[in-house]
C-alpha cells in the first residue's frame, strides 16, 4: 500500500509538468512544420497549448500510470502526434529533419525555462508563500520530465522522433522498410519498459537536469540544496 501511495503522490506532482511537456513537444513539431511550408497542424487546430486536442489515451494517460506503478521516477509518454504532411515541405529531407528535432528541442528549452523560473522563485519569493513548496517541486520535476521526454523521443524506434531524424538521411526504399518497424513499436516499448532498458536513460537525463539547474542557480545567485 505504501508503494501505491508513493506512486500516486509522484503522479500527482508529475502529471501537470508532464502534460505541459508533451503538449509543448507536439506544438513544437507543428510550428516547425509551418515554417517549412506545411500548415496541416495549424489547419487541424493543433497549434494550441490546450491539452485536450493533444491527449492520447495510452501515451498520455495509461503509459504514465504504468510508469508510476512500476516505480519509475520520471514519467515517460507522449501526446497524440500532430498531423504533418512532409510532401508540403519546401525541402523534404531538411524539413523532415528539422520538424523531427523540433519536438525534443522544445522540451530542452522548456527544461531550461523551468529551471530559470524555479531559481527566480527561490530568489524572489518568500518560503512562507502558501504554495511555495508545491510550485518549487513541480518546477524541478519539470526540468527532469522535459529532459526525459526529449531524450526518450530521440530513441530511433518508429514513430518516435529519433526514427524520423534517421529517415531524413535514408533513401525512399530504405525509409519504407524502416517504417515497417512501427507496427511492433508498442511491443518493443513495453519490452524495454519491463526489462528496465529504459532506465538506462536516467543517466543522461539526470546529468542534463543537474547541469541546467546548476547554470540557472549561478545566474540567479541561489542554492537549490
- Dihedral sign from CA coordinates of 80, 82, 85, 90: negative
- Tell me how far apart the alpha carbons of residues 92 and 99 are, in angstroms, rounded to a whole number: 10
Q: Is 26 a catalytic site residue?
A: yes
Residue 159, preceding peptide bond in cis (omega within 30° of 0): yes
Rounded to a whole number, what is the largest CA-CA distance in the chain? 62
Q: Looking at 36-171, list the stretches that DSSP marks H as alpha helix, in order from N- to C-terminal side.
A: 40-43, 63-69, 92-124, 132-152, 161-167
Grid cell, residue 218, equals 549561478
Which position among 26, 140, 167, 179 bears the catalytic label? 26
Q: Could you list the active site residues?
A: 26
Amino acid at each position: 500500500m505504501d508503494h501505491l501511495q508513493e506512486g500516486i503522490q509522484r503522479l500527482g506532482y508529475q502529471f501537470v509538468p508532464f502534460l505541459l511537456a508533451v503538449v509543448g513537444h507536439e506544438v513544437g513539431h507543428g510550428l516547425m512544420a509551418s515554417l517549412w511550408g506545411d500548415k496541416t497542424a495549424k489547419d487541424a487546430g493543433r497549434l494550441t497549448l490546450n491539452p485536450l486536442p493533444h491527449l492520447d489515451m495510452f501515451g498520455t494517460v495509461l503509459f504514465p500510470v504504468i510508469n508510476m506503478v512500476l516505480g519509475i521516477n520520471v514519467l515517460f509518454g507522449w501526446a497524440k502526434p500532430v498531423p504533418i504532411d512532409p510532401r508540403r515541405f519546401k525541402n523534404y529531407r531538411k524539413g523532415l529533419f528539422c520538424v523531427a528535432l523540433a519536438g525534443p528541442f522544445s522540451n530542452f528549452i522548456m527544461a531550461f525555462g523551468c529551471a530559470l523560473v524555479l531559481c527566480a522563485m527561490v530568489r524572489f519569493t518568500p518560503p512562507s508563500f502558501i504554495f511555495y513548496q508545491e510550485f518549487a517541486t513541480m518546477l524541478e520535476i519539470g526540468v527532469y520530465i522535459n529532459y526525459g521526454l526529449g531524450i526518450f523521443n530521440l530513441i530511433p524506434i518508429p514513430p518516435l522522433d529519433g526514427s524520423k531524424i534517421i529517415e531524413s538521411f535514408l533513401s525512399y526504399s530504405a525509409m519504407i522498410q524502416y517504417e515497417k518497424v512501427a507496427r511492433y513499436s508498442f511491443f518493443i516499448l513495453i519490452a524495454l519498459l519491463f526489462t528496465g532498458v529504459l532506465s538506462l536513460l536516467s543517466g543522461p537525463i539526470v546529468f542534463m537536469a543537474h547541469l541546467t539547474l546548476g547554470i540557472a542557480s549561478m545566474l540567479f545567485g541561489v542554492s537549490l540544496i
